[in-house]
């Protein structure tokens, strides 16, 4: 793990790093000392580790929860090179969208392709970040919407260190098997008027999660219109499960 | 409004009262002085103003939110006499249940019968309680599950003083018209494995609420198994809308 830069503002210290050539960012309270819970945030499709929604959420998790937050550029996203195969998958997805097709299966293909690489990267990042004094081997949470959910479901299923996950804005396509292996508590967000994910598909993904403790939050609005108060609700959800 | 008794415990003062022969209870913080938001809680079918779920919720709303809480015995419930017509409606409902019928329409008939009387009683109670110094004409919320939702939807639709409502555990049957007139923010609770309300009917009631600001919370479990943390979530919902 190689730290590249460190800046602080509004009570939050931001450190950029790379880990085995994966670019990442770690946010901690400016006056941090000693161990604290860690949230891994997975960004959406076409976004990156410092997308505005990630930064805004991370700042609240740090300042209001006292948590550490880490985000990585997903494979083929942000500062990372794009492979030919990914470029082809995205081109097919876009062509399907333009043609007005139901692209759920194509989206699932893309997520599956990315998850194969992203899940072990996130596991390595957890290990590296938990070795830092100001994080430590405490509770771990995961937060990811849309593509961040498509990668987050297999990650949460595979990684026993994840004690609670906030997921959502995605349907069941391609995720049934992984969802049936998720046993950590989940708070699942669904946009009631989602223009990309059919309501029934989102409800089906929530239904498929094997977690005994799971809670669905549905709000009016389109895919990108999750209300601000859900960040506060996610904070409370993590705090409740971190004990 | 005639006060009958006053007791205090655990930081909560409880005053029993009658208002035009309707028995009610008012809970306030033990050290209350000056105005505060008011929550009206509507109990479930066969229950009463001091049912354990009402008392537990009221205590948290008072001690954690600093709110005043009022509950009334619904018509034909608690300490109130039962009319012949109500007795007949309940007998028909029970016979339907025993016969394994879908009783949604019968339940809607019962709620409609009760709401006609309960809505003006609750409006009168709001007026009377808001005239007290330690309540005042501040924000008003409504909380009611199951029958408390069946009466609460027409009440929230009819009463502009209700600024936010927590409703749930009921389906759309008989409530479409009133739901289309609910414009106050609503937090709606649905039990994912409800043994009395079909999931699709609960989702349909949430869908039918005209509120621009509404949020659905669904949790695993049967009708009576709403998780404890939803009381905290209701508190935060009210606090958010009381400003």
**Tens-place pLDDT, residues B19-58:** 999 999 999 999 889 999 999 999 999 999 999 999 999 9
CB contact under 8 A, B212 and A220: yes
Among A13, A16, A10, A11, which residue's Cα sits nearest to residue A28?
A13
Give yes or no for A207 touching B (CB within 8 A).
yes
- Cα B72 versus chain centre, distance: 10
A85/chain B closest Cα distance in angstroms = 39
A227 and B215 within 8 Å at the Cβ level: the answer is: yes
Between chains, do B219 and A218 touch, taking CB under 8 Å as contact?
no
Q: pLDDT at residue A10 above 90?
A: yes
CA A147 – CA A136 distance, rounded (Å)? 28
Nearest-Cα distance to chain B for A215, in Å, is: 5
Report the distance separating Cα B243 and Cα B238, nearest Å: 9
Shortest CB distance from B215 goes to which of A203, A218, A232? A218
Whether B35 contacts chain A with CB within 8 A: no
Partners of residue A212 in chain B, C-beta under 8 Å: 220
Nearest chain B alpha carbon to A214: B219
Nearest CB to A215: which of B217, B232, B240? B217
Residue B154 lies in a domain: yes
- Residues B203 and B197: their CA atoms lie apart, in Å, by 10
Tokens found for residue B72: 């009334």
The pLDDT of residue A233 is: 97
Q: Is the pLDDT of residue A113 over 90?
A: yes
Owning domain of residue B28: 2-80+114-242
A55-105 residue pLDDT tens: 999 999 999 999 999 999 999 999 999 999 999 999 999 999 999 998 999
Domain-located, residue B194 = yes
Q: What is the ipTM of this complex?
A: 0.90
pLDDT at residue A243 above 90? no
Q: Is residue B95 part of a domain?
A: no
Closest Cα in chain B to A217:
B217
* Chain A hits for B231, Cβ within 8 Å: none
Q: pLDDT at position B177, please?
A: 98
Q: How far does B167 lie from chain A, in Å, by closest CA?
A: 14
- For residue A181, the model assigns a pLDDT of 98
Measured distance CA(B107)–CA(B150) in Å, rounded: 9
Whether residue B154 contacts residue B119, with contact meaning beta carbons closer than 8 Å, is answered with yes
- Mean pLDDT, chain B, as a whole number? 97
B240 closest CB neighbour out of A212, A217, A229? A229
At A222, is the pLDDT very low, low, confident or very high (cuts 50, 70, 90)? very high
Instruction: Answer whether residue B16 is part of any domain.
Output: yes
Residue B99 falls inside a structural domain: no
Cα→Cα distances A84→A21, A49, A108, B123, Å: 19, 22, 18, 67
- C-alpha to C-alpha distance for A189 and A227, rounded to whole angstroms: 10
Q: Which of B189, B215, B237 to probe by mutation at the A interface, max A CB count within 10 Å?
A: B215
CA-nearest residue of chain B to A236? B233
Q: Tell me if A216 and B215 make a contact (CB, 8 A cut-off).
A: no
Taking contacts as CB-CB distances below 8 angstroms, the residues of chain A near B212 are 220
Q: What percent of chain A has pLDDT over 70?
A: 100
Say if A243 is an interface residue toward chain B (CB within 8 Å). Answer: no
The string of pLDDT tens digits covering residues B81-94 is 999 999 999 999 99
Determine the Cα–Cα distance for residues B150 and B190; give it in Å rounded to an integer: 14
Cα–Cα dist B208/B200, whole Å: 12
A229 CA to chain B: closest CA distance, Å?
Answer: 9
How far apart (Å, rounded) are the C-alpha atoms in residues B158 and B156? 5
Q: Looking at the complex, does the CB of residue B192 fall below 8 Å from at least one CB of chain A?
A: yes
Q: Which of B190, B217, B231 to mutate to test the interface with A (most CBs of A within 10 A)?
A: B217
Parallel, antiparallel or unpaired: strands B214-219 and A214-219:
antiparallel
What is the reported pLDDT for B243? 84
What are the structure tokens assigned to A48, written together? 């990156």
pLDDT at B62 over 90: yes
Tokens 């891994």: give the residue: A40
pLDDT digits (tens, 9 = 90+) for A122-173: 999 999 999 999 999 999 999 999 999 999 999 999 999 999 999 999 999 9
Considering the domain boundaries, does residue B145 fall inside one? Answer: yes
How many percent of chain B have pLDDT more than 70?
A: 100
CATH of the domain at B19: 3.40.50.1820
As for how many domains chain A has, the answer is 1
How close does chain A come to B206, measured CA to CA in Å? 10
CB contact under 8 A, B213 and A220: yes
For residue A33, count other CB atoms closer than 10 A to its CB.
Answer: 9
**Tens of pLDDT along B185-239?**
999 999 999 999 999 999 999 999 999 999 999 999 999 999 999 999 999 999 9
Encoded tokens for A114: 């990315």
> Cα A147–A176–A104 angle (5° rounding)?
50
Q: What is the pLDDT of residue B198?
A: 95
Chain B: residue whose CA lies nearest to A218: B216
Q: Take residue B226 and report the two structure tokens written for it.
A: 């709403």
Answer yes or no: do B215 and A219 touch at CB < 8 A. Answer: yes
C-beta atoms of A216 and B217 within 8 A: yes
């Amino acid at each position: 793990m190689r730290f590249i830069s460190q800046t602080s503002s509004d009570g939050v210290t931001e450190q950029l790093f790379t880990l085995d050539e994966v670019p990442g960012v770690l946010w901690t309270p400016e006056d941090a000392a000693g161990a604290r819970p860690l949230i891994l945030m997975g960004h959406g499709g076409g976004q990156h580790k410092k997308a505005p929604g990630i930064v805004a959420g991370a700042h609240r998790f740090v300042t209001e929860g006292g948590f550490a937050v880490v985000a990585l550029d997903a494979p083929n996203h942000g500062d990372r090179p794009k492979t030919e195969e990914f470029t082809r998958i995205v081109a097919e997805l876009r062509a399907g969208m333009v043609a007005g097709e139901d692209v759920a299966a194509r989206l699932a293909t893309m997520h599956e392709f990315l998850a194969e690489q992203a899940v072990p990267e996130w596991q390595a990042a957890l290990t590296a970040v938990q070795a830092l004094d100001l994080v430590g081997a405490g509770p771990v949470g995961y937060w990811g919407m849309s593509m961040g959910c498509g990668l987050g479901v297999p990650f949460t299923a595979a990684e026993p260190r994840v004690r609670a996950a906030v997921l959502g804005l995605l349907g069941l396509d391609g995720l049934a098997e992984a969802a049936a292996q998720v046993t950590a508590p989940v708070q699942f967000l669904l946009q009631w008027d989602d223009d990309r994910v059919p309501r029934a598909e989102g409800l089906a993904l929530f239904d498929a999660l094997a977690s005994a403790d799971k809670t669905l939050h549905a709000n009016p609005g389109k895919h990108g219109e999750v209300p601000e108060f859900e960040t506060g609700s996610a904070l409370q959800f993590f705090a409740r499960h971190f004990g």
